[in-house]
Structure 1
Amino acid sequence: MGVPKFFRYTSERYPCLNELVKQYQIPDFDNMYLDMNGIIHNCSHPDDSNPHFRITEEKIFKDIFHYISILFQIIKPKKLFFMAIDGVAPRAKMNQQRGRRFRSAREAEKLEEEAKAKGEVLPSEKRFDSNCITPGTVFMARLHEQLKYFVKMKISTDPLWSKVKVILTGHETPGEGEHKIMDYIRWSRSQPDYDPNTRHCLYGLDADLIMLGMCTHEPHFALLREEVKFGKNTQRATSPEETNFYLLHLSLLRQYLEQEFISIKDKLPFEYDLEKIVDDWVLMGFLVGNDFIPNLPNMHINNDALPLLYKTYLTVLPTLDGYINEAGDLHLERFETFMQELAKIDKEKFQDTYADLKYFEGKTGRRPNDRERKEYKPNNDETFNVNIDDIKANKPDDELQALINATQEMFVDDIELDGDDEFDETSDEEANIEMEFIMHKKDYYMNKLDYSKVTEEVLADQAECYVRAIQWNLYYYYKGCPSWCWYYPHHYAPYISDIKGFKDLKFDFELGEPFKPFEQLLAVLPASSKHLLPTPFHDLMTDEDSPIVHYYPINFETDLNGKRNDWEAVVLIPFIDETNLLSAMIPCYQRLTEAELQRNTHGPILVYNWTSDNMGVALAPDYFPPVQECHASEQAVWRTELDVPEDQLQRGMLPNAKRDFVFPGFPTMRHLKYQTCLKKCRVKVFDQPSRNESMIVQVLPEESTNPPLEKVASELLGKVIWAGWPHLTRAK
């Protein structure tokens, strides 16, 4: 899922990033990686809005094989083909998966009910439950066996496949697909024989692949993805032959980012380093929210959050003594300075709310009471117990009153020092705004985060939780999963102005162990998908005496929380308590069959190579003919074998990488003189004019005299040249 709207926003801001794939002009790639879950979803439920749609398992497997074959055929990797399917995810991801699966089950049921209400007759066979695309289900186990057969068949029968190493890391191997790819790239970079000029192509739909690709610091890296149709009623192409594919060039994004932040190049009190600016750019991307952390209040991409972050960065960086994200390690003091500057946005956004409050007061002659603000809920946590009637009477608690008093004293002191009467009214107004702002934030924590009393301890805990989440994210992207059991414990993030006082925090993540597949299934599935689990676990989700039945609400609320689309809403379901979940499961294990117990284990990564030896007949599990002469050798590698000790991690761009060497088909803005500026030009991106600013690149004319046309013609006619800067297409 990644970061909603990030892909479109980045493509609009930097219009040359995406290049339509033309069969005859594809750059040479050494390694190709597939983030497979997008393919599995596309081939199994291409149209979720149609309750009549039905598909057989055979058709799903055939379509997946076909899709993989087409992608391989487009890119034709020279050395490595890597297929990664999501295994068991870290707990931090499971909360988002849980919300998504609860919502998709409810939407599917609603569509069927609406169709029946219209008198439509639905097919008798069961619809495909997309929630089965989760590790540990029968469907995923069968798909894994089919993919093993498919790889052996392709290596044995297709000359292009026989030339490359093929790696399959399936649902049995823990980790999200794209992060298993990153783990492999990190491991490769730490090997002594690694070629720093390896050309990578990564296929996948998630916008966070842009950030993952950038934080590898590999100079030759592109993302492959289908053309995205934006807007209403856009029908998605179902077969790969009907699909346009685009390459998004990260080498070009690096040069665009250089232009984005070029104005501070000569203002820094330390060495300017584009690779380190890229790392800080990745960090800024986390602040608009991702799969692991909710977005900060007022930080929405469609409300210009990213330009605001960039502007703040340009202001703050020259005042610091170094970069904020040091290759995955968060420099807390510098980050705190950045957040304090960013916090001004909280106040600015509140001015609008304050205007509404004053309007209400002007119309009614009184302040809105708590019911007109929000309905508060008392907290279950005893440390925050407070008399709810006090809140109903709108009495500020002691801490809040002290804060308001301090604020008023501060402004009163200012007035006395100034000694000028004309500022009295303004200062009163500022004190009022400050007080209202504090009340407004208190309201947010009580209503959204269910605190019945907002104390300094609460706010300090909120700040610590959030900063810890940012550091977990950075470790995850740059070094691998730092903790399988950590997760962000709230549905909402704190106000930016409350994220402070954390510069002395110490981070100590406990690595722990990934969940077993059935543990994850029970943690992320709604009760309506209980058929995807072995029967002994069903009652845990539905029996009213089950110790964990409260984790599976049939009715639940969603909160748009400033977003526009239903799929972006926060799904308000309770977080799973790991201890409760695991202890409730223990009695069920003895009733599992041997095959079910096997499905609940972790498995290795499979590495395939062509061999001249005849390995015998490779049988297909179902549907397909056997391979009479198999020439694929299979080797099992366990994920821990790819762990890289911290002292062997290669940070930043490798020293012997050829930064200035241009491979054919890898675009660059070098060679020509140009200048850039940001402006709203309604540049057409994905068939729609952009609504935001775009970076316009203007090529500067050469200073030389204009030679006669005949001279130019005699020099160039019949020669192979590079046209279409910056994409540099070969032409004659």
Structure 2
Amino acid sequence: MGVPKFFRYISERYPCLSELAREQSIADFDNLYLDMNGIIHTCSHPDDSNFHFTITEENMFKDIFNYIDKLFFLIKPQKLFFMAVDGVAPRAKMNQQRSRRFRSAKDAEILEAKAKSRGEVRETERFDSNCITPGTEFMVRLQEALRYFIKSKISSDPLWQKCRVILSGHDAPGEGEHKIMDYIRYLKSQKDYDPNTRHCLYGLDADLIILGQCTHEPHFVVLREEVKFGRKTKQASVEETRFFLLHLGLLREYLELEFDELKKNYDNFNISNLIDDWVLMGFLVGNDFIPHLPCMHISSNALPLLYKTYIKVYPTLGGNINVNGKLNLERLEKYFAELSNVEYEIFQENHADLKYFEAKQTKNGIDEAFDFDINEITLENQDADLADLIASSRQFLEDDDEDLSDEEQHLADEFETYKRNYYMNKLNQNDMNCESKREQAICYITALQWILDYYYRGVQSWDWYYPHHYAPFISDLKNFKDYKIKFNLGEPFLPFEQLLAVLPAASKDLLPAAYRELMTSTSSELLEFYPKDFETDLNGKKHEWEAVVLIPFIDEKRLLDAMKACEKNLTPAEVKRNRHGPMHQYDYHPESQGSAPGIFSLRPLYSVFCTEQQIWSREIAVPSDKTVCVELPNAARTVFFPGFPTMKHLKYDFELKFARVRVFEQSSRSENLILKPHMRKGLDDIYTVAEKYLNQVVYTGWPHLIKSKVVGISNREKYIDAEGIKDMEPRLFQIHMKTAQEHLSTRMGIELDDFSVLVHVRVHIGTTCVCGNQGKIIVNDAWGYSVTAYPAQTVVAEIAVQKKRGDAAQKGGELLSYRQHSVLLRQSLLWQRRHRIKSHARLRMWSFKSKYNGASGA
């Protein structure tokens, strides 16, 4: 889940961030990482609201295979393909996992009760999605299926043979996305690491965006399914699913605009340092590890308030609050001191609104304020009554000046009363004295540091967790600047320990029989931790799924002590299952490395053309003091990498305003950062534009620059192409102009004052290969058939471009080696077939022979 509503918020505030992933325009990626749990959930229970939905385990696994294959084919990683399944999580995450699983079980129970009340009967046993938790039998079977799938793909698919494949399964400790971050930190610590490595991270959690920014990698993209907000729609099939790329490099540039006031006024401004503080500010609206601060809701524009406060206090800080993942507590205390004023202003506004509505609801709200009954005004005496009203109003205003200080003190007292009630009712703190408030502050600050460590360096404590359902008020976050934060590393839970810690009693069958009575027996020492019924609290949120689940936090010592007495009843297979395991690394090998048994209806692999090596997490662990938390030298940010958008190549102005940009199905209700490219000299003249661009290769779609061939230039009167000058039909020009204007302003948040000249282009869709003499392959650009019009001032030319793979002419031996597999890549997945070239001598004839490896069902 990460940060609720964060993805939608930043996508609408910065409209150009995301683009539809199109095969022909997608970037070259070195590494692809999959946060697998989203895929597993999507393929195993796509419609929880459907009481009768069923799917066999075999079909679940096949759907998971298809999903992985689709993502791999879309991105085509060249060096590394890393799949990470959630393993045992740090204790700090287990509280959120526990809440989610209790809610899931309760929702399923309610759905079943409603169905039974209608006389409906389930034909098969319900799939309990809580089985997607480390240590269950389901996860063990899935792990073995994934190992089979990887061996099958590497043995039969040339695309998979190019890169190293790593599977970090449910038995390897750590959350999926953080195991990915651990591996990226490991790669960055190597001497031969390329600072221009191109990363693509797939996952549904919004905090992947923040995690990606923590790496300070210049070429980092988050891949996720198309998101439809608003009314609930039917779950799309794997084939129907569209994917979007969210570009973190472009987000970095947007943030530079967001904090432009600091960049213009302070010489010490550094965008990388700003990104670190931006990461910290994102934690204050809540995430998987801590609740949001009171009054700080994304839907109520909390993030702009945090940004404005940061800009205001920045001159007094003397540096970053978040220094490479470490808090400067003195600077943080200054920031919170200023932010507490915002908190009080929010309370004032809410208090005033409340009093206003109370006044509207009671007659005396107006009568007593003006010292007469408004209902006594009649048509007969309205002049006298009006005079009385004016006099009374004047007296009211005079009294108001005299009583202003009293009213302010009354409001301050009400704020303290409000806070006292909050602490009593939500945090069970009846006596919030100075020491109690400092303890709350220390607890929250420690949480912030734990999360920063987790994001920048990995787990620094397995057993620490935030022990409250609610956060303290900002105005009470003080007197902590001299506190020394320390963590005990501890050890991760074993799989069965986590299962018992996070599962509700309704999912007891997912545990070994030896532990089930600990959840249900009246004599169990742990019974209180598994309530059948529990309350939820919206706590300022709007939707039930956002509510706080009020269940008790598990007591670790009591849990482990109770489990120890049951260990003797575990079977040998269960003992084996209750262990931590390694990652599995796969590399293509041209010779068979043995065989692998089949699964379900999928046949055995009689020849496996890859090695399988175990890698333990300790082998790739990077010491905290050796972690690289900054951008590496030689990272090329001035060169354009195709597929990685940037605003750098045009001059533009920008403005934050309510432009109702429509990134999703509905228009945005919050501010959007609007870009306004300048009109360059001569680009409003059709003949100048034609002389400059006609028949040239340029880049269109700024800031999502796409290589394009200019085939025409037009204005309202003329159209110029390779054949000469023609008359332009005004109605057709108007259609082209309106189409461009609608897309730019409504979807992209780009505003132009001038659409007088349009540039018509065919976009680059790939390359074609022509076989020359002696097997030499000549590579030519291929252009699309459809023609698209762009405003002349958005066209970019003459920029330094990093060459994409395959741009240069290559010898036949470099593209297609003798007896190596080749893949015919077409726009449809239906065209993907496995082939082998029979002979170099007959290369031009493209004579192929199919290869089968007994696993064709995979």
Which has the bigger relative contact order, CA under 8 A and spacing at least 6?
1
Query: How many angstroms apart in 2 are the aligned matches of 1:209 and 1:708?
Result: 45
Q: Deviations over 1:11-50 (max 9, x none)?
A: 0000000101112111100000000000000000000111
Q: Residues 422 and 537 (structure 1 numbering): CA distance in 2 closer, same or farther, change over 3 Å?
A: closer
In structure 1, the residue matched to 2:530 is 552
- Percent sequence identity over matched residues? 59
Shift of 1:354: 3.9
Query: How many angstroms apart in 2 are the aligned matches of 1:705 and 1:329?
Result: 49
In structure 2, the residue matched to 1:719 is 696
Point out the structure with max Rg over C-alpha.
2
Shift of 1:647: 3.0
Asked whether the 8 Å contact 2:262–2:311 carries over to 1, the reply is yes
- 1:493 partner amino acid: A
In structure 1, the residue matched to 2:2 is 2
- 2:315 partner amino acid: P
In structure 2, the residue matched to 1:295 is 292
In structure 2, the residue matched to 1:48 is 48
In structure 1, the residue matched to 2:637 is 659
Q: Residues 588 and 271 (structure 1 numbering): CA distance in 2 closer, same or farther, change over 3 Å?
A: same
1:676 matched to 2:654: yes
- Per the normalisation by structure 1, the TM-score is 0.90
Asked whether the 8 Å contact 1:267–1:318 carries over to 2, the reply is no
In structure 2, the residue matched to 1:240 is 238
- 1:287 partner amino acid: L
Q: Pick from 333, 336, 347 the counterpart of residue 336 of structure 1.
A: 333
1:250 matched to 2:248: yes
1:165 matched to 2:152: no
- 1:82 partner amino acid: F
- 1:681 partner amino acid: A
Shift of 1:423: 6.1
Query: How many angstroms apart in 2 are the aligned matches of 1:52 and 1:561?
Result: 34
Q: Deviations over 1:237-287 (max 9, x none)?
A: 1x221011111111110100000001111333x611100101111100000
Say which SS state the counterpart of residue 471 (structure 2) adopts. Answer: coil
- 2:239 partner amino acid: E
Q: Residues 20 and 264 (structure 1 numbering): CA distance in 2 closer, same or farther, change over 3 Å?
A: same
Q: Pick from 312, 318, 321 the counterpart of residue 321 of structure 1.
A: 318
- 2:69 partner amino acid: S
Say which SS state the counterpart of residue 528 (structure 1) adopts. Answer: helix
Shift of 1:655: 1.4
Shift of 1:652: 1.4
In structure 2, the residue matched to 1:372 is none
Which deviates more, 310-319 or 113-122? 113-122
- 2:455 partner amino acid: Y
Q: Which runs of 5+ in 1 are unaligned?
A: 367-419
Say which SS state the counterpart of residue 160 (structure 2) adopts. Answer: helix
- 1:673 partner amino acid: K
Shift of 1:624: 1.2
Query: How many angstroms apart in 2 are the aligned matches of 1:669 and 1:617?
Result: 51
Say which SS state the counterpart of residue 224 (structure 2) adopts. Answer: strand
1:376-525 alignment runs, 5 A limit = 424-525=402-503
Q: Deviations over 1:122-155 (max 9, x none)?
A: 22x2111000000000000000011011111100
- 1:285 partner amino acid: G
- 1:700 partner amino acid: H
Asked whether the 8 Å contact 2:151–2:609 carries over to 1, the reply is yes
Query: How many angstroms apart in 2 are the aligned matches of 1:240 and 1:506?
Result: 50
Q: Pick from 347, 350, 366 the counterpart of residue 347 of structure 2.
A: 350
- Give the number of aligned pairs: 675
- 1:143 partner amino acid: L
Q: Residues 450 and 358 (structure 1 numbering): CA distance in 2 closer, same or farther, change over 3 Å?
A: farther
Shift of 1:587: 1.3
- 1:141 partner amino acid: V
In structure 2, the residue matched to 1:108 is 108
Shift of 1:704: 4.7
Say which SS state the counterpart of residue 265 (structure 1) adopts. Answer: helix
Q: Residues 596 and 621 (structure 1 numbering): CA distance in 2 closer, same or farther, change over 3 Å?
A: farther
Shift of 1:488: 0.3
Query: How many angstroms apart in 2 are the aligned matches of 1:647 and 1:302?
Result: 38
Query: How many angstroms apart in 2 are the aligned matches of 1:15 and 1:41?
Result: 29
- 1:351 partner amino acid: Q
Say which SS state the counterpart of residue 689 (structure 1) adopts. Answer: coil
Shift of 1:626: 1.1
Asked whether the 8 Å contact 1:229–1:236 carries over to 2, the reply is no
- 1:178 partner amino acid: E
In structure 1, the residue matched to 2:221 is 222
Asked whether the 8 Å contact 2:683–2:689 carries over to 1, the reply is no
Q: Deviations over 1:680-723 (max 9, x none)?
A: 111111122111110100101113575652x6435534333211
1:309 matched to 2:287: no
Q: Residues 29 and 436 (structure 1 numbering): CA distance in 2 closer, same or farther, change over 3 Å?
A: same
- 1:252 partner amino acid: L
Query: How many angstroms apart in 2 are the aligned matches of 1:255 and 1:72?
Result: 28
Query: How many angstroms apart in 2 are the aligned matches of 1:65 and 1:360?
Result: 59
Q: Residues 452 and 363 (structure 1 numbering): CA distance in 2 closer, same or farther, change over 3 Å?
A: farther
Query: How many angstroms apart in 2 are the aligned matches of 1:300 and 1:218?
Result: 29
Say which SS state the counterpart of residue 683 (structure 1) adopts. Answer: coil
In structure 2, the residue matched to 1:413 is none
Q: Residues 23 and 596 (structure 1 numbering): CA distance in 2 closer, same or farther, change over 3 Å?
A: same
Shift of 1:541: 0.1
In structure 1, the residue matched to 2:262 is 264
1:643 matched to 2:642: no
Q: Pick from 506, 516, 519 the counterpart of residue 538 of structure 1.
A: 516
Q: Deviations over 1:42-88 (max 9, x none)?
A: 00000011111111100100000010000000000111000000000
Q: Residues 584 and 273 (structure 1 numbering): CA distance in 2 closer, same or farther, change over 3 Å?
A: same
- 1:161 partner amino acid: W
Query: How many angstroms apart in 2 are the aligned matches of 1:578 and 1:115?
Result: 38
Asked whether the 8 Å contact 2:36–2:85 carries over to 1, the reply is yes
Say which SS state the counterpart of residue 343 (structure 1) adopts. Answer: helix
Which deviates more, 226-235 or 597-606? 226-235
In structure 1, the residue matched to 2:708 is 731
- Per the normalisation by structure 2, the TM-score is 0.77
1:85 matched to 2:85: yes
Q: Residues 359 and 674 (structure 1 numbering): CA distance in 2 closer, same or farther, change over 3 Å?
A: closer
Which deviates more, 680-689 or 424-433? 424-433
Shift of 1:115: 1.1
In structure 2, the residue matched to 1:629 is 607
Q: Pick from 564, 571, 585 the counterpart of residue 607 of structure 1.
A: 585
Query: How many angstroms apart in 2 are the aligned matches of 1:271 and 1:234?
Result: 49
Asked whether the 8 Å contact 1:354–1:436 carries over to 2, the reply is no
- 1:308 partner amino acid: L
Shift of 1:352: 4.3
Shift of 1:613: 2.4
Query: How many angstroms apart in 2 are the aligned matches of 1:659 and 1:27?
Result: 16
In structure 1, the residue matched to 2:735 is none
In structure 2, the residue matched to 1:280 is 277
- 1:476 partner amino acid: Y
In structure 1, the residue matched to 2:809 is none
Asked whether the 8 Å contact 2:700–2:706 carries over to 1, the reply is yes
Query: How many angstroms apart in 2 are the aligned matches of 1:702 and 1:462?
Result: 57
- 1:251 partner amino acid: G
Query: How many angstroms apart in 2 are the aligned matches of 1:438 and 1:607?
Result: 58
Asked whether the 8 Å contact 1:88–1:517 carries over to 2, the reply is yes
Query: How many angstroms apart in 2 are the aligned matches of 1:129 and 1:62?
Result: 19
- 1:103 partner amino acid: R
Query: How many angstroms apart in 1 are the aligned matches of 2:242 and 2:233?
Result: 14
In structure 1, the residue matched to 2:848 is none
Asked whether the 8 Å contact 2:3–2:287 carries over to 1, the reply is yes
Which deviates more, 484-493 or 226-235? 226-235
Q: Which runs of 5+ in 2 are unaligned?
A: 366-397, 710-858
In structure 2, the residue matched to 1:526 is 504
Shift of 1:358: 9.1
Q: Residues 455 and 623 (structure 1 numbering): CA distance in 2 closer, same or farther, change over 3 Å?
A: farther
Query: How many angstroms apart in 2 are the aligned matches of 1:457 and 1:422?
Result: 38
Q: Let me know the Cα RMSD of the aligned residues.
A: 1.8
Query: How many angstroms apart in 2 are the aligned matches of 1:712 and 1:297?
Result: 56
Shift of 1:350: 2.0
- 1:437 partner amino acid: F
- 1:458 partner amino acid: S
Say which SS state the counterpart of residue 629 (structure 1) adopts. Answer: coil
